A = this chain, B = another copy of it.
Amino acid sequence: MKGKKTTIHEIAKALNTTASTVSRALNNNPRISEETRNKVLKMAEKLGYEPNTMAASLRRGHSKIIGIIVPYADRIFFSSVIRGIEEEVKKSGYNVIICQSYEKIENEVDDVNALMAAQVAGIIISISRETNKYDHLKKVMNKNKPLVLFDRTAETINTSSVAIDDFQGAYSAVNHLIENGFKQIAFFSGNKKVSIFRERFRGYQAAMRDNNLLIPDEYIIEVPSDVDQGKLVTQQLMSLPNPPDAICSSSDFSALGAIKWLKENNFKVPDDVGVIGFGNDPFTQYLEPTMTSVDQKSKDMGKTAAQVLLEQLEGKNSIARKVLLSPELIIRDSSQKLAIKKAAV
């Protein structure tokens, strides 16, 4: 019972053959006879052999581990992507190793180095909000390690990426509001330095334009993804001489802030003001009213990122692939005026 590990050499000795034969048998090398292979398999089983992946990785030049870097591992969006990746790569015998950047570029750089040192087979990353230089990512590419960005991608470097179509997400959200009779639609944008937020903003603009609706400057507000900040700017908005009749937010949290402030101040949601969030965080379905939100397909995103990476790993495809997933508008109560909703039934 003492943890004496068996190696292929032990198996070889027991079978009066050599380690190379055992190795080949174990790896289904066609140059090994069925008979020998079976003997090896049986003996391996008997001796409780378990391969030392370190040794194999060392020889091979990389491990069967995929590195993942996210800002925070405990945010539902990221943890859900991670789950998707894990599920997918497991099928091919890979494991995932998680690093957090805490939205700091220094951590991100360190993480990349650590992962490279750990000889990961490839890296899947959602870059930090701070990240504006890409030398660390280029280093990965220069070493010919597959690299896939997700959600927060970088346009300036030529790498594979998976994201949702943020433009379309915002566009369909705004369109939905308009279909439900809202006309004066304000927009909560995130930090416009980040591409996903720029795209959402563009989607909002396009939808308004396509429906011949004007956008007063005061209707566009940059607000962090935060409940209290959401409340604050909602107060501002509703104090305008021409307050909006709906809010489309780039974040579920600021949308929640909006709903909270509105209810506290005796506005009815959605009858007085409609609200739509972005992200489809689980809490949105438990609110009153339940919140309409754009689902980011996080698990799919993870699965897809994993697939793209594996493709690259297996050499099938070395050119960068940019995948855009379609977001899904999850329609709940916060965006449908009761009268209209009833009429529709």
- A13-21, A39-47, A231-239, A282-290: which lies at the B interface? A282-290
A76 CA to B113 CA in the complex, in Å?
Answer: 28
Q: Please state if A86 and B58 are interface contacts (CB–CB under 8 Å).
A: no
Is A97's CB within 8 Å of the partner chain B? yes
Q: Please state if A50 and B117 are interface contacts (CB–CB under 8 Å).
A: yes
**Least distance between A215 CB and chain B CB atoms (Å):** 29
Interface size class on chain A is: 35 or more
User: Using an 8 Å CB-CB cutoff, how does the interface string of A262-306 with B read, 1 for contact, 0 for none?
Assistant: 000000000000000000001100111000000000010000000
Count chain B CB atoms within 10 A of each CB in A5, A53, A288 and give the residue with the most.
Answer: A53
Cβ contacts under 8 Å, A241 to chain B: none
Q: Of all chain B residues, which has the CB nearest A63?
A: B54
Q: Please state if B99 and A97 are interface contacts (CB–CB under 8 Å).
A: no
Given A3-B142, A3-B144, A76-B74, A52 and B100 touching (CB < 8 A)?
no
A114 CA to B64 CA in the complex, in Å?
Answer: 11
Cβ contacts under 8 Å, A115 to chain B: 95
Selected from B54, B119, B142, B282, the residue in CB contact (under 8 A) with A1 is: B142
Q: Please state if B74 and A79 are interface contacts (CB–CB under 8 Å).
A: yes
Q: Please state if A53 and B118 are interface contacts (CB–CB under 8 Å).
A: yes
Cβ contacts under 8 Å, A83 to chain B: 72-74, 100
Q: Please state if A98 and B97 are interface contacts (CB–CB under 8 Å).
A: yes
Is A143's CB within 8 Å of the partner chain B? yes
A58 CA to B119 CA in the complex, in Å?
Answer: 13
**Least distance between A207 CB and chain B CB atoms (Å):** 28
Is A342's CB within 8 Å of the partner chain B? no
Is A55's CB within 8 Å of the partner chain B? yes
Q: Please state if B98 and A86 are interface contacts (CB–CB under 8 Å).
A: yes
User: Using an 8 Å CB-CB cutoff, how does the interface string of A1-17 with B read, 1 for contact, 0 for none?
Assistant: 11101000000000000
A59 CA to B114 CA in the complex, in Å?
Answer: 19
Cβ contacts under 8 Å, A208 to chain B: none
- Name 5 extra pairs, CB < 8 A, besides A3-B142, A52-B117, A73-B79: A54-B58, A72-B83, A73-B82, A256-B286, A283-B283
* Chain A residues close to B by CB (< 8 Å): 1-3, 5, 50-55, 57-58, 63, 65, 72-76, 79-80, 82-83, 86-87, 95-100, 113-119, 142-144, 227, 256, 282-283, 286-288, 299
